[in-house]
Amino acid sequence: MNREQDWLAQIAAGLGQVRVRQPIIHHITNYISINDCANATLAIGGSPIMANDQDEVAEVAAQSAALVLNLGTPNTRMLDSLEAAGKQANALGIPVVFDPVGVGFTRVRTRAVAQLLLSVRMTAVRGNLAEISRMAGLDVTSRGIDALAAQNNAADTVKRAAQKLGCIVAATGVSDYISDGRTLIRIDNGDPLMARVTGTGCMTTSLVAACCGAMTEKLAAVTAGVAAMGVAGEIARSLLQPGEGTGSFRVRLLDAVSNLSGEEILKRGKLTVETTND
Amino acid sequence: MNREQDWLAQIAAGLGQVRVRQPIIHHITNYISINDCANATLAIGGSPIMANDQDEVAEVAAQSAALVLNLGTPNTRMLDSLEAAGKQANALGIPVVFDPVGVGFTRVRTRAVAQLLLSVRMTAVRGNLAEISRMAGLDVTSRGIDALAAQNNAADTVKRAAQKLGCIVAATGVSDYISDGRTLIRIDNGDPLMARVTGTGCMTTSLVAACCGAMTEKLAAVTAGVAAMGVAGEIARSLLQPGEGTGSFRVRLLDAVSNLSGEEILKRGKLTVETTND
Amino acid sequence: MNREQDWLAQIAAGLGQVRVRQPIIHHITNYISINDCANATLAIGGSPIMANDQDEVAEVAAQSAALVLNLGTPNTRMLDSLEAAGKQANALGIPVVFDPVGVGFTRVRTRAVAQLLLSVRMTAVRGNLAEISRMAGLDVTSRGIDALAAQNNAADTVKRAAQKLGCIVAATGVSDYISDGRTLIRIDNGDPLMARVTGTGCMTTSLVAACCGAMTEKLAAVTAGVAAMGVAGEIARSLLQPGEGTGSFRVRLLDAVSNLSGEEILKRGKLTVETTND
C-alpha cells in the first residue's frame, strides 16, 4: 500500500469513527448556512448544537467534542460569543475549527479575525484560498467573498499560512490543499456545482469539525472532512437526473454525505501527498 | 368503531379543518429551523408568521390563531419577546405551544424556561422526553440536546408532567406520548431517519400549533399534530429511492405533510389510548 | 416581432447578461428566507453577499452591483443597517430593490417602511398587492401577511403606486403587475404551489435585484426577474412526479431557475404590455 492509499484508509477509518462516536459539535455560525451545517453534521454522524448566546456558549463548548467558529454574519455580540467559546474550548483541550468567511472583504471582518486569533488557539482553519491568504497576511485580490486565485502558488501559500498561523490550514476550491506546515496534501475531488450552492464551504467546515471531534490525528481529521465533501460532491453529480439543477444537487449532496462509506473514499478519493522538512 | 379508531377519525377530521381554516400561526423561534417550520406550517395548511421583535410580537400574536414559543437559540431579547407574545396570547385566549429546546443543557435555558412558565400559561408543551422530564422537575440524564431516556417510564413521566405543568404535554421520540394529565395517548408512527434531519421536533411543534389553531378540542389537536408528523415520516420513508439519504428524506417529509389526507391517518395511524382518573 | 415578443427577447437577453456578469448582490434580509435567497441568486447567476451589521453594510454595498433591502423580521438594529446601506447605494448609483414584507400588518413595519422611504431612494419595490397598496397609501384589507386583493383594480393600483412612490413597482401574485408609472406590464406565468412554499416572494426580489445588477434598462430588469420566477414555477410544476408535494416543488423551483434559458422565456413567457402617457 502506497502513501496515498494509506491516507485514504486512514480517512475511511476516521469517518467510521465519527459514525460510531457521534461527537457533539458546537457551532457558533452565520444565519445563512446554520440549517445546512446542522444537517451536514448529522449526515456525517455528528450531533450538532447551534448556540451563540454569550451567556451559554462556554457551557455548551465544554460539553462538546469540537467547536466551529464561523464568522459568516459578524456583529459585536457574535464576536464576544466566538471568543468566549474559543477560550473555553482551549482551556479544555477541545479542538476549534475556524471559518473566516469574507476576511479581507470588509474592515469589520478583517479586524474580527485578527482579534480572534489573538485570544483563541485554532486547531484548524478552513476557508477558500483568498481567505487563507488574507489571514496569513499574504497578498491576494478579492472579488466578492470568493476569489479567483493563482492556483499554481496555492500549495506553497497554504503551507506557509499553516506555518505562520501555527495550525492546520485547509484551502478548499477546485483543488483542496491541507497542510500543518510540514505535510501538504492535495485533494482533487469535487464538482463545479458545489460553487453554485450556498454554504458548501461552511458545510465542509462542519465535516472537518465532526472528524476532529472523533479522530485523534488532527491532520488526518481535517483531510477526512475535506475529502468527504469532495467525494460527496462527485457522488451527488452522478445521481443528478436530466432536468435537475442546483436545487436537486444540493439535496443529493446531503444524501451523499449521509450515505458516505469508507469504500467510496477508497474508490473515489483523489489524494496526493507531499512531505517536506521545512 | 373502537376508541382508537374514534381518535384517528377525530384527527383526520381535524387535519381537514386546518386545511379549510388556514389558521395564522405566529412563531417566535430559533434561526436553525425557522425556514423548515414555516414550510411545515404551510404544508399542513396553516399560514405562518415569523416575527420576534419585542415591539411587534404582541400585535402579531393578537392577529393569530395560535402561537409557537420555541426556545431554540435563546438570548435576552428573545426571552422578552417570548414573554410579551405569550402574555398577549393568554389575554386573548389564543392557544400557546411551547418548545423548550435544550432545557437542562445549560443554565441559561433552564432559567429561561422557569421564568417563562411563571408568566405564560401554555396550552401545550412539545419536546423530547429528556426536555419534558427536566421541565417537570423529574430526574433525567441529558446527552447533548437529545437524551436516550428510559422508555418504560415514559408514559408515566408524561402524565405526571402534564399534571405538574397544568397543560397538555407531548414527548416525541421513537414512540410519542401525549397527555393532559388524565388521558394518555401513545403514537407509534415515525421513522429513524427523522432523528438524522435537524428540526423535525421543531416542525412537529409547528404542526401541533396549526392543529391547535383550527381544532376546538386541544388534546385531539396536539395528538393530531404529533400523529401527522409520525405518519408523514413513514410515508417519506416509503417514497425514498435507492441511493437517496437524509437530504431526500427531508424533502419527502415535507411532501408527505403537504399531501397528508385523512385516509392516510386512518390507514397508517398507530395510536393507543389509556384513560385514568388520577 | 410584436411588442410582447420584443419584451420577451429583451428579458431573455438580460438573463444571459446576468449569467455572464455574475453581479454581486448585497442582501440585508430576514432570517426565514436568507438561505433560499442566497441559493436563488446563485441559481440565476448572481453572487450573493448577506451582510447586515451596521458597521460593515456601507462597505459591502459599495462593492455590490445591486442591493436588496428586505424588511422580513424587523428590529431597530436591522433598520439602521437598511438605512445605512441604502444611503451608500444611493450615493454610488447602485440600484436598490425594496421588499416591504408585511407592511400594514403591524405598526412597527408600517413605521419602518415610511422612515426608510424618507432616507433611501428605491429603484424598485417588489411585494404582493396588499403590501404595494399599503405602501402607496391606498386602502386595502390585509389578512396575515398576504391578502386576497381585488385583481380587477390591480393594474391601476400598481401604476398609481409607481407614480406616487417615484420608482418601479412590481406586485406579484396570481398575475404579476410591473409599472414605472407610465408603462404597465402584466405577467401571467406562475403556479399555485408557489404560495405554499415560504419565501418565493423574497426569492423573486433576489432575482429582480440580480437582473437590476446586470441590465441597464431597469423596467426590463424588474420584469425579467419577475418573469424568471413565474416561468420557473411552471417548469417546476411540469417536473413534479406523482406523490411529490411542496418539498419537491421547492427543490425543482430552484432547479428551474438554475437551468433557466432564454429559450424557455421565449417559449413560456406570458407577457402583456400597456403603455399610456398618464
pLDDT in tens, A163-191: 999 999 999 999 999 999 999 999 999 99
> Given pLDDT bands bounded at 50, 70 and 90, which one contains residue C152?
low
On the 0-12 / 13-18 / 19+ scale of CB atoms within 10 A, A23 is buried
Nearest Cα of chain A lies from the Cα of B11 at a distance, in angstroms, of 31
Does the pLDDT of residue A277 top 60, yes or no? Answer: no
Cβ atoms within 10 A of the Cβ of A17, count?
17
Kindly give the pairing relationship between strand C96-99 and strand C168-171. unpaired
Dihedral sign, CA of C98, C7, C272, C22? negative
- Least confident interval from A184-188, C108-112, C143-147: C143-147
Q: Which of C42, C47, C250 sits opposite A246 (nearest CB)?
A: C42
Q: Which of residues 227-256 of B touch C (CB under 8 A)?
A: 239, 250-256
Mean pLDDT value of segment B132-160? 71
- Least confident interval from A45-54, B100-109, B192-201: B100-109
Give the pLDDT score at A139: 58
**Residue C273 sits at the chain A interface (C-beta within 8 Å):** no
What lies within 8 Å, CB to CB, of C195 at 6+ separation is: C146
Nearest CA in chain C to B19: C196
Q: What percent of chain B has pLDDT over 70?
A: 94
* Chains sharing 3 or more CB pairs under 8 A with chain B: A, C
Nearest CA in chain C to B249: C247
> Given pLDDT bands bounded at 50, 70 and 90, which one contains residue B152?
low
Q: Name all domains of chain A by residue range, CATH numbers in brackets.
A: 3-275 (3.40.1190.20)
> Given pLDDT bands bounded at 50, 70 and 90, which one contains residue A243?
confident
**Residue C5 sits at the chain B interface (C-beta within 8 Å):** no
Is the distance from CB of C101 to CB of C72 less than 8 angstroms? yes
Does the pLDDT of residue B147 top 80, yes or no? Answer: no
Nearest CA in chain C to A196: C42
Q: Per the CB < 8 Å rule, is C253 touching A247?
A: yes
Q: Per the CB < 8 Å rule, is C247 touching B259?
A: no
Give the pLDDT score at B164: 95
Alpha-carbon distance B86 to B117, whole Å? 10
Write the single-letter amino acid at A232.
A
Give the pLDDT score at C1: 66
- Least confident interval from A30-39, A267-276, C232-241: A267-276
Q: Per the CB < 8 Å rule, is C247 touching B239?
A: no
Give the pLDDT score at B174: 95
DSSP string, B221-253: HHHHHHHHHHHHHHHHHHHPPTT--HHHHHHHH
* Cell matching residue A231: 467525494
With CA atoms as reference, report the closest residue to B97 among B200, B167, B15, B186: B167
Give the pLDDT score at A169: 98
Q: Per the CB < 8 Å rule, is A47 touching B146?
A: yes
Give the pLDDT score at B74: 81
> Given pLDDT bands bounded at 50, 70 and 90, which one contains residue A123?
very high
Nearest Cα of chain A lies from the Cα of C252 at a distance, in angstroms, of 6
Q: Which of B31, B73, B246 sits opposite A255 (nearest CB)?
A: B246
Mean pLDDT value of segment A190-210? 98
DSSP string, A179-236: ESSSEEEEE----GGGGGSTTHHHHHHHHHHHHHTT-S-HHHHHHHHHHHHHHHHHHH
pLDDT in tens, B12-31: 999 999 999 999 999 999 99
Q: Per the CB < 8 Å rule, is B251 touching C251?
A: yes
Q: Per the CB < 8 Å rule, is C43 touching A247?
A: yes
CB hemisphere CA count around C144 (13 angstroms): 18
Identify all chain B residues contacting C253, using CB atoms and an 8 Å cutoff. none
> Given pLDDT bands bounded at 50, 70 and 90, which one contains residue B104?
confident
Q: Per the CB < 8 Å rule, is C102 touching B49?
A: yes
What are the backbone dihedrals phi and psi of residue B68, each rounded to the nearest 5 degrees, phi first?
-105, 125
What are the backbone dihedrals phi and psi of residue B66, each rounded to the nearest 5 degrees, phi first?
-160, 160
Does the pLDDT of residue C143 top 90, yes or no? Answer: no
Nearest CA in chain B to C195: B42
**Residue B59 sits at the chain A interface (C-beta within 8 Å):** no
* Chains sharing 3 or more CB pairs under 8 A with chain A: B, C
Alpha-carbon distance C103 to B51, whole Å? 13
pLDDT in tens, A18-27: 999 999 999 9
Give the pLDDT score at A76: 80
Does the pLDDT of residue A152 top 60, yes or no? Answer: no
Which SS3 state, helix, strand or coil, does residue B183 take?
Answer: strand
Nearest Cα of chain A lies from the Cα of B104 at a distance, in angstroms, of 11
Give the pLDDT score at B105: 86
Does the pLDDT of residue C35 top 80, yes or no? Answer: yes
Give the pLDDT score at C150: 54
Q: What percent of chain A has pLDDT over 70?
A: 94
pLDDT in tens, C228-259: 999 999 999 999 998 899 999 999 999 999 99
Q: Which of C52, C59, C239 sits opposite A73 (nearest CB)?
A: C52
Alpha-carbon distance C201 to B265, whole Å? 32
Give the pLDDT score at B78: 87
Give the pLDDT score at B72: 80
- Least confident interval from A82-96, A140-154, B187-201, C122-136: A140-154
Nearest CA in chain C to A240: C255
Q: What pTM value is reported for the model? A: 0.95
Mean pLDDT value of segment B186-205? 98
> Given pLDDT bands bounded at 50, 70 and 90, which one contains residue A150?
low
Give the pLDDT score at C76: 80
Q: Per the CB < 8 Å rule, is A63 touching B144?
A: yes
Identify all chain B residues contacting A39, using CB atoms and an 8 Å cutoff. 197-198, 246-247, 250
Identify all chain C residues contacting A35, using CB atoms and an 8 Å cutoff. 35
Alpha-carbon distance C173 to C167, whole Å? 19
Average model confidence (pLDDT) for chain C? 93
Q: Per the CB < 8 Å rule, is C105 touching B259?
A: no
> Given pLDDT bands bounded at 50, 70 and 90, which one contains residue C86?
very high
| A172 against B243, higher pLDDT | A172
* Cell matching residue B96: 400557546
Give the pLDDT score at B39: 98
Does the pLDDT of residue A145 top 90, yes or no? Answer: no
What lies within 8 Å, CB to CB, of A50 at 6+ separation is: A27, A28, A29, A34, A37, A38, B30, B31, B32, B73
> Given pLDDT bands bounded at 50, 70 and 90, which one contains residue C78?
confident
Q: Per the CB < 8 Å rule, is A243 touching C255?
A: yes
Identify all chain B residues contacting A56, using CB atoms and an 8 Å cutoff. 74, 106-109
Is the distance from CB of B60 to CB of B85 less than 8 angstroms? yes
Distances (CA, A) of A139 to B26, B89, C238: 49, 56, 49
Does the pLDDT of residue A160 top 80, yes or no? Answer: yes
Does the pLDDT of residue A248 top 90, yes or no? Answer: yes
Q: Per the CB < 8 Å rule, is A253 touching B244?
A: no
* Cell matching residue A146: 470568493
Helices (H), chain B: 3-21, 34-44, 54-62, 76-92, 107-119, 129-135, 154-165, 200-212, 218-239, 246-259, 262-268
**Residue C62 sits at the chain A interface (C-beta within 8 Å):** no
* DSSP 8-state secondary structure symbol assigned to residue B106: B
Q: What percent of chain A has pLDDT over 90?
A: 82
